[in-house]
Structure 1
Amino acid sequence: MATVIKTFYKNQDLLYKLLLIAVCSVLIVYFLPKSGKFQYDFQKGFPWANENLYADEDFAILKSEETLAQEREEIRSQAFLYFDYDEKVMQDAIARYEDSFSGVFKDSLVTNVSKSRLKDFGRDLLKDIYATGIAKEKPTFDASRLVYLKKGSEVTQVNLGQIYEADDVSSELQRRLNQSPYASYKNLFLQVFYDSIEPNVVYNATFTENAITAELSQVSPTRGVVTKGSRIIARGELVEGEALQKMISLKAKYETQNFSDSRYNWIVVGYVVLVVLALVMLLLFIRNYRIKVYENNTQVTFILFNILLMVLLTTAVVKFNPAYVYAVPLCILPLIIKAFFDARLGLFTHVITILLLGFIVPDSFEYFFLQVIAGIVTILSTQELYKRANLFISVGQITLIYIIAYFAFNSIHQGGVENLAWENLGLFVLAGLATLFVQPLIYIYEKIFGLVSDVSLLELSDTNSKLLKQLADKAPGTFHHSLNVANLSEAAANEIGANAMLVRVGALYHDIGKMNNPTDFTENQATGINVHDDLSPKESARIIIDHVIDGIEIARKNNLPDRVIDFIRTHHGTSTVHYFYMKEKAVNEDAVITDFQYPGPLPFSKETAILMMADSVEAASKSLKNPTSILIDSFVEKIVKKQMDDGQYLNADITFKEIQQVKKILKKKLVNIYHLRVEYPE
């Protein structure tokens, strides 16, 4: 039992990572579609690369979306319109006509014609107008469109143009009266009609739409059948037209069939294996190439959390509407990973995430191509994320790449850009704009996971910050030294491609421990009094060495990030306070060198190694009486060689070539600092 506990404790980091992968895999698979995955991958307009494909069983050929849309539109354009005809309104209108006729057609106004004949003529004209009905307003369809007039339980079929619109009744009455033998009585008739006529027909939009819906439901989604054993597509044949519809039909049949419990379980097992495989590959990449990230469980959790977040976000969008999948700002992922780690890890994580999303999104090849290209552009275009202009430029480039690639794919599929879906371009622009959310997201992640991005480093590099102002007030010499070291380190980091912002911040804070006892260090001894003259070499060495421990305590008290504290811990490595050691050895042959050594650890990165070189060189340069280019050259070489001989850079991932480049920059900068000029003969 004790052995098991010991083994568990020894491997707890690995077990945590495996548990993390298991949890992420379960969550991802849970949200994946559980239908079977079609075994063939095909793209419209591309040749069929596999062997001839034959049908294993009969299956129906689905109609294309264009064909179905055309059929639906034809049904809508030819469907009957339904109007409700109110006979009571007509009867009331005739009654009002008869009541007002006598009052308008007075005996003094009617001559040469029987009054009853005039009344009968007007009544017949009114009935004729009401025969097909009068509508207050009609829907805007063709006049020849067939209409059903519903008069109680009776239905009459007429054309839409036969139904009068209220605004047109006046002109129709005038036309008929002008053509009648009673044209001289037109104004009297119109007066009676205006007082009598009211609309009696209403368009029944609900009944019409229900009838259309019923007809649409009868539209068959298929046309014809592919019989068992017949060829679906031949090798080398272009996937378009009839062949494309057959492939789409076969894929739909496979993915919508009902699986037995056993087959469903195998599908889930397959998904789990593939997802776990992808996440394990990412973990192996981190272990082999980013060992510091691998050893930090918080950082590993952060990376997998972002992958999971993107998968869940994309899944939600696809379930809502697959057409909106390109509105998901997937390029936020490589930006965030690059902001906290580096570009290579950002791109690898991005590719793994896209591979997982291939199970979810439609047209997975196009999606993969677009997102990988966009991710590469994101990594290449955003060099300094803390500069807002760079982020806007990157967003513009990402959007442009999306649009260009979309144009290309549309040209391949459609043979032109006539049928370009312009709304997709809007989705690309939306995804680009949503990428700007990376800035507040970085801030949130810094607070949740305790990570440090270049944006935070930029804030820490402000010399007006509280801690640096304290350093300038209490230890002005140390502050000036730190500024010089920061400038040297930043230039060297830029030369070898290291994180210049990180090493600059580390240099600014590396000696803050000297604030506790500033006059114990020569750069702050303005009066010329050296306290070490009255101390033993061992005591003096202990005071000097303790500034590292004091610096770490001050940094933690002021909530400096661990990445910055690492520079405080490592800027002297395990080197020796040589001056006091030799002074002690002069009076005590048995002097123990470990009493005069810094506790370490050794520098473990390019940035911490650069700071060690720059700090040692800058501090020692103050001892040069009459510096010359040759003297500075040999002086830098001597200091760095001593550090290399002591093994100070063994744990740092810095090459010998890069060390040579750093030395070259340090020499150049020191020459500039001391303003060395060529000496001219008198």
Structure 2
Amino acid sequence: MGKTLDNVYKHQSLVYKYFLYVVSVALIVFFFPKGGKFKYDFQKGKPWQYENLYAPIDFSIKKTTEEIEQEQSSIRDNKTHYYSFDASIVSNVQVEVAEELNTYFQSGDFSSGQRQSLRTLAEEVIDEVYAHGIFQTVPEAESIVVVRNNEAQPISRTDIIALEGAKRNVSERFAQAGSEGLSFLSAMIRNSLKSNLVYDEALTESALSDELSKISYTRGEVDQGKLIIAKGEIVEPEDFKILNSLKDEYESELWMGSNYYFILLGYTILVALVLIMLFLFLKRYRNEIFENNNKVTFIFFNILLMVLATTLMVKHYESYIYMVPLCILPLVLKNFFDARLGLFVHVLTVLILGFVVPNSFEYIFLQIIAGIVTILTASELYKRANLFISVGQITLIYIIGYFAFHAIHEGNLENIEWVLFGVFVLNGLLTLFAQPLIYMFEKLFGLISDVSLLELSDTNSKLLKELSDKAPGTFHHSLQVANLAEAAANEIGANAMLVRVGALYHDIGKMEQPTYFTENQITNVNPHDDLPPKESAKIIIDHVLNGIEIARKNNIPDRVIDFIRTHHGTTTVYYFFKKQQELEQEVDVDDFKYPGPIPFSKETAILMMSDSVEAASKSLKNPTFTIIDEFVEKIVKGQMQADQFLNANITLKEIELVKKVLKQKLTNIYHLRVEYPE
């Protein structure tokens, strides 16, 4: 048991990668929409490339979204408006008119017969006017139903009467009856009339919902065994609808029952294969990233983030699938790592998403092209204009690509979904979110971007200011090394900004005891003269450890601290080692060696060469082209013989280019001129 645990502990990094791999595969498959995949690819207006297709099952022909929306719109436009008949208002009007008549009768001499006749006439007129009810204003709706005594009664446009119309009808009623002398009664009734039909919004919406629920989402059936389309036949719009209906039915049925587990197994195998390709790529071509679990986790986190965002969009807003800013993925990865890795991960992510998105070929084509454009155009993101230019080009590629596919599918420019152009523009705007996202990733995963490197390269920063105050000679040396290393990095295509920052901070440990380093000694007094060689060597060596400690206290990123660790590798403090040998025969060389590690990247290797060449160049007297050439060759050759570049992924050709740049720069520094023959 103890042996097993010991093995697990030794291989814990590999165990973590296995765990990350399994969890990532499981999460991606879990994110996928629950449905199988139709085994035929087809496009409207293109020939059917497979054998004759017969209906494998009975299925319904589904209406398109546009057809359903048109039906819904038609029902909403012609919906029935419901009004409630308020009988209490009619009663109140009758009571009000009766009371006014009684008051009127008291002012004159009326017989009981006349009084009864007038009351009866008033009641008849009121009943006639309120026969169908009175609206406040004439409604515009074509279909109107009046609810009276819990009974719904449709009312025709000819029977609709508004309050003003009802008052006119009362006047006409008395005129037709030859009752001009009863103008007082006509006025009483007109003044008392009120609208009694009240719009019932709740009942109207309820009836509308019932009508909408009755919409059929299908229009016909296809029986099993019926020929759907023959080989070579053009997929016409009607065929396209039938094939889409079969596809939906097939995929939904495929996911049911025992098929579920086979589909799940298929998805798992395909996703697992894609992620294995990623691990193999990292292991073979980016081993320094593969060995760093933090960086591997960061890459997988970004893949999962894009898969989650896209699958959620597929489930809920399939038409707006291109709103997901997938190009953020290569943008971010190129910023933290390199272009090749960014494009490779982007392509693998697009392949994963190709399983679940509609029109997978169109989607994969557009996203891969957009990813390539991102890699080719996005550089130096710390310059604000570069990101906007890159995003503009990505958006343009999406628009041109969609336009081309639409022309291929439709054969004309009709029915272009202009809303998709807005989606592409929104995609571009969301891609601009890469900048704050990069900042968040820096803090979350402890990575470093070009923007942060630019901030660190400011010589007015607190730590570099302190270095220039305490150790001005070291500060000047660091600036010179930064210039040399940056030029060399540009020559071989390494990260020039990272090298420059590493060079600026590589000797900050010398601030602890600046006078023990020759570049800071302003007098002829050398404090090493009073120390034994071993102790002097320890002070020199300790500037690496002190530098690491100072950098960590000042929250300098690990990628920059790597330059402090490795800029001397495991070389020997040769001067004091020789002095110690003069004092005793048996000398332990390990006491005079830097702790390392040796450089493990192009950038750290460039710094080691530049630092050694710049520091040693101070001892050159009357340098010539030949002297500088031999001088640089000797220093770099010594480092190579000491196996300092074994772990750095730098080639012999690149080392030659670095030496060439260092020679040119030193020639410029010493202002050497070509000697012409006399």
TM range (shorter): 0.7 to 0.9
Moved more, 564-573 or 414-423: 414-423
- The 1:171/1:486 distance shift into structure 2, 3 A limit, reads farther
Q: Secondary structure at the match of 1:401?
A: helix
1:382 to 375, 378, 381: 378
2:506 to 487, 491, 510: 510
Q: Match for residue 515 of structure 2?
A: 519
8 Å contact kept, 1:29–1:271:
yes
Alignment of 1:3-82 (within 5 A): 4-82=4-82
Cα distance in 2 between the residues matched to 1:531 and 1:187: 128
8 Å contact kept, 1:315–1:360:
yes
8 Å contact kept, 1:61–1:245:
yes
Aligned letter for 1:249? S
- The 1:161/1:364 distance shift into structure 2, 3 A limit, reads farther
- The 1:662/1:60 distance shift into structure 2, 3 A limit, reads same
- CA drift of 1:10 comes to 4.0
Q: Match for residue 83 of structure 1?
A: 83
Q: Match for residue 111 of structure 1?
A: none
- CA drift of 1:566 comes to 1.6
Q: Secondary structure at the match of 1:134?
A: coil
- CA drift of 1:600 comes to 3.1
Corresponding position: 1:152 with 2:163: no
- The 1:238/1:556 distance shift into structure 2, 3 A limit, reads same
Q: Match for residue 568 of structure 1?
A: 564
Q: Secondary structure at the match of 2:424?
A: helix
8 Å contact kept, 2:36–2:254:
no
Q: Match for residue 165 of structure 1?
A: 162
Normalising by the residue count of structure 1, what TM-score does the alignment of the two structures yield?
0.86
Cα distance in 2 between the residues matched to 1:461 and 1:678: 35
2:300 to 300, 304, 322: 304
Q: Match for residue 644 of structure 2?
A: 648
- The 1:376/1:191 distance shift into structure 2, 3 A limit, reads farther
Cα distance in 2 between the residues matched to 1:187 and 1:647: 122
Aligned letter for 1:17? K
Cα distance in 1 between the residues matched to 2:421 and 2:174: 60
Q: Secondary structure at the match of 1:257?
A: helix
Q: Match for residue 611 of structure 1?
A: 607
- The 1:623/1:235 distance shift into structure 2, 3 A limit, reads farther
Q: Match for residue 219 of structure 2?
A: 223
Q: Match for residue 475 of structure 1?
A: 471
Q: Secondary structure at the match of 1:667?
A: helix
Q: Secondary structure at the match of 1:573?
A: coil
8 Å contact kept, 2:170–2:190:
no
8 Å contact kept, 1:96–1:195:
no
Cα distance in 1 between the residues matched to 2:351 and 2:589: 56
Aligned letter for 1:484? Q
Moved more, 73-82 or 602-611: 73-82
Cα distance in 2 between the residues matched to 1:126 and 1:187: 15
Cα distance in 1 between the residues matched to 2:631 and 2:613: 8
Cα distance in 1 between the residues matched to 2:676 and 2:117: 134
Cα distance in 2 between the residues matched to 1:185 and 1:381: 94
- CA drift of 1:476 comes to 0.9
Cα distance in 1 between the residues matched to 2:106 and 2:391: 84
Q: Match for residue 111 of structure 2?
A: none
- The 1:646/1:183 distance shift into structure 2, 3 A limit, reads farther
- The 1:71/1:594 distance shift into structure 2, 3 A limit, reads closer
Identity %: 58
- CA drift of 1:644 comes to 3.4
- CA drift of 1:506 comes to 0.7
Moved more, 588-597 or 368-377: 588-597
User: What RMSD in Å do the two structures reach over aligned CA positions?
Assistant: 3.7
Q: Match for residue 451 of structure 2?
A: 455
- CA drift of 1:611 comes to 0.8
Aligned letter for 1:657? K
1:293 to 275, 289, 303: 289
Cα distance in 1 between the residues matched to 2:130 and 2:621: 118
8 Å contact kept, 1:52–1:235:
yes
Cα distance in 1 between the residues matched to 2:633 and 2:126: 115
- Structure 1: gaps of 5 or more residues: 109-113
8 Å contact kept, 1:85–1:201:
yes
- CA drift of 1:277 comes to 2.0
- CA drift of 1:238 comes to 3.8
Q: Secondary structure at the match of 1:225?
A: strand
Cα distance in 2 between the residues matched to 1:181 and 1:580: 135
1:528 to 524, 531, 541: 524
Q: Secondary structure at the match of 1:434?
A: helix
Normalising by the residue count of structure 2, what TM-score does the alignment of the two structures yield?
0.87
Q: Secondary structure at the match of 2:251?
A: helix
Moved more, 31-40 or 582-591: 582-591
- CA drift of 1:290 comes to 0.8
Corresponding position: 1:270 with 2:266: yes
- CA drift of 1:345 comes to 1.8
Cα distance in 2 between the residues matched to 1:393 and 1:65: 37
- Structure 2: gaps of 5 or more residues: 109-113
